[in-house]
């Protein structure tokens, strides 16, 4: 018994000591001052906390929300011909749901539909925002690409048919116009002031859910994923339908256009990209003025300069753009730029990395005389060139007559003549390129872009030969076509 009491007493002393220690630690945490005469504990940090709380986005939503629109695109398609002998699809679906087996001929034939013109169907949903009070709306080029009709819905549910003023695929920026006035435009922010780690917000229509608000932080800037612009990387939730919507900073200013996501599933995975608004505005102003974007070019093929390349060429540090090829007759060739040169500066602007050069050259007005500084054989050399005009891939061919086209109704094909450039690229003497596919040709697997070089035992070198061969082919008999698709040639059997 005495021994037990002694143990309890010792445990009691330990408990009191522990409480005292905890109290002292708590006083230290809350900043209690030490008693007079007592030694002050060593100071850990006198800095104030960097964060005081999470942001409230409600004011931003009220401010910017009225400027964000939903964009719906429509395309006209030819309705598929229905087989009058086919069973009624609604009845077939009824039996399918309940797992009832269907013997042949068990269902009634579907109703025959009269011939109709093209049908309209929704092609996609995206977002946009009011660029100016007189009805200009900014969005992504891929949102309106290929659309026969663009419909803009304002937050107050008013709908307008929009006209595509212009679209630039290289920067993925488009400008559309609606017949409306008195709209509330967004305020344009300064991308240079945007910092990594800063809170940002997005408003858009993911999966068609209008006026959806998401938020996150800026994950990185100057992320190189495009030809002519670096992207803003964020962790803001962006999904299909958000494309073209604004990325907004905490001052209620638009700093980017939500454009892309990195995903292995097709949905948001924590990484999204926005077009910097300064680049987008530069493109939009050109689209507004002329409907297209004019860019400069100098005619060089480039690659990055890494540490090994810099050391081998005697460059003090990696940087610039290594010229690996120069186009004959180009501005660069006329100025004396040679393969192996490293372009360090262009028109007074430093080339820190190779991706800077096409962006700086592209933003230079064609016809401008620009100074170029290159590194050649261990020393810098100054050259001068006149910037040329970048020819967009979608630009029309030189002013010549339109390529001849022809339709083969029984086959469901529309074909056109090959251009000289296409013949050189494909290394063929002739043939016809498939422009449109429908009916039997689509069923057989032909695609737009295929090149028909033979029909039966006949060689096809032109649209005229194709028309004659189809006209002479026995009616109702399957047609064998020899086609080129990429580097492969194959026979395709089309049953009219």
Residues annotated within the binding site for substrate are 142, 172, 241-243
Q: How many CB atoms lie within 10 A of CB 496?
A: 18
Give the pair of three-digit tokens for residue 214: 């998401």
Cα distance between residue 223 and residue 288, in whole Å: 27
Give the pair of three-digit tokens for residue 234: 């964020």
Residue located via tokens 């859910």: 209
Give the pair of three-digit tokens for residue 114: 């009269």
Cα distance between residue 297 and residue 494, in whole Å: 46
Q: Known catalytic residue: 243?
A: yes
Considering 172, 341, 356, 450, which one is annotated as catalytic? 172
Residues annotated within the binding site are: 142, 172, 241-243
Residue located via tokens 């409306």: 180
Residue located via tokens 């592209």: 362
The alpha carbon of 105 is separated from its chain's Cα centroid by a whole number of angstroms, namely 49
Cα distance between residue 201 and residue 236, in whole Å: 7
**Helix count (H) and strand count (E) of the chain?**
11, 28
Q: Known catalytic residue: 341?
A: no
The phi-psi region of residue 197 (left if phi > 0; otherwise alpha if psi is between -120 and 50; otherwise beta) is left
Cα distance between residue 165 and residue 206, in whole Å: 24
Give the pair of three-digit tokens for residue 384: 């001068």
Q: Is 261 exposed, middle or buried (0-12, 13-18, 19+ CB in 10 A)?
A: buried
Cα distance between residue 400 and residue 398, in whole Å: 6
The phi-psi region of residue 377 (left if phi > 0; otherwise alpha if psi is between -120 and 50; otherwise beta) is left
- Distances 286 to 192, 363, 421 between C-alpha atoms, Å: 22, 11, 30
Residue located via tokens 């048919």: 161
- Total length of the chain: 496
Cα distance between residue 204 and residue 186, in whole Å: 14
Give the pair of three-digit tokens for residue 145: 């690409």
Is-contact 466 433, C-beta < 8 A?
no
Q: Known catalytic residue: 265?
A: no
Considering 127, 219, 243, 272, which one is annotated as catalytic? 243
Pairing of strands 159-168, 230-234: unpaired
Q: How many CB atoms lie within 10 A of CB 429?
A: 10
Cα distance between residue 102 and residue 93, in whole Å: 11
Residues carrying an active site annotation: 142, 172, 243
């Amino acid at each position: 018994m005495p021994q037990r009491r002694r143990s309890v007493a010792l445990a009691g002393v330990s408990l009191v000591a522990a409480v005292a220690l905890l109290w002292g630690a708590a006083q230290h945490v809350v900043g209690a001052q030490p008693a007079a005469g007592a030694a002050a504990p060593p100071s850990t940090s006198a800095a104030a906390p960097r964060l005081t709380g999470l942001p409230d986005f409600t004011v931003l939503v009220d401010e910017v929300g009225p400027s964000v629109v939903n964009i719906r695109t429509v395309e006209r398609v030819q309705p598929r011909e229905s087989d009058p002998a086919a069973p009624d699809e609604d009845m077939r679906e009824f039996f399918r749901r309940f797992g009832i087996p269907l013997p042949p001929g068990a269902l009634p034939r579907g109703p025959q539909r009269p011939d109709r013109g093209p049908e309209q169907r929704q092609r996609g949903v995206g977002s946009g925002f009011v660029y100016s009070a007189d009805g200009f709306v900014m969005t992504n080029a891929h949102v309106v690409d290929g659309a026969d009709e663009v419909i803009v819905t304002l937050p107050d549910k008013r709908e307008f048919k929009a006209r595509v003023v212009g679209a630039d695929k290289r920067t993925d920026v488009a400008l559309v116009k609606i017949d409306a006035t008195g709209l509330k435009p967004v305020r344009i922010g300064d991308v240079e002031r945007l910092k990594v780690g800063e809170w940002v917000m997005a408003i858009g229509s993911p999966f068609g859910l209008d006026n959806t608000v998401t938020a996150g932080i800026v994950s990185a800037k100057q992320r190189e994923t495009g030809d002519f612009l670096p992207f803003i990387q964020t962790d803001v939730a962006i999904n299909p339908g958000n494309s073209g919507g604004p990325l907004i900073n905490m001052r209620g200013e638009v700093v980017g256009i939500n454009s892309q996501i990195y995903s292995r599933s097709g949905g948001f995975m924590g990484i999204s990209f926005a077009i910097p608004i300064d680049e987008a505005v530069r493109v939009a102003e050109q689209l507004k003025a002329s409907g297209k974007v004019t860019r400069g070019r100098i005619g060089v093929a480039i690659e990055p300069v890494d540490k090994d390349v810099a050391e081998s060429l005697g460059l003090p540090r990696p940087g610039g753009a290594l010229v690996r090829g120069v186009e004959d007759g180009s501005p660069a060739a006329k100025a004396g730029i040679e393969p192996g040169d490293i372009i360090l500066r262009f028109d007074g602007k430093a080339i820190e990395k190779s991706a800077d050069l096409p962006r700086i050259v592209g933003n230079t007005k064609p016809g401008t005389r620009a100074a170029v500084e290159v590194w050649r054989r261990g020393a810098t050399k100054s050259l001068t060139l006149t910037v040329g005009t970048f020819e967009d891939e979608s630009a029309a061919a030189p002013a010549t007559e339109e390529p001849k086209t022809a339709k083969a109704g029984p086959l469901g094909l529309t074909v056109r003549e090959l251009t000289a450039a296409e013949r050189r690229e494909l290394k063929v003497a002739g043939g016809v390129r498939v422009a449109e596919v429908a009916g039997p040709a689509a069923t057989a697997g032909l695609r737009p872009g295929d090149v028909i070089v033979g029909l039966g035992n006949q060689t096809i070198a032109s649209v005229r030969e194709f028309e004659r061969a189809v006209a002479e082919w026995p009616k109702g008999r399957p047609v064998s076509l020899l086609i080129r698709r990429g580097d492969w040639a194959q026979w395709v059997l089309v049953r009219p």
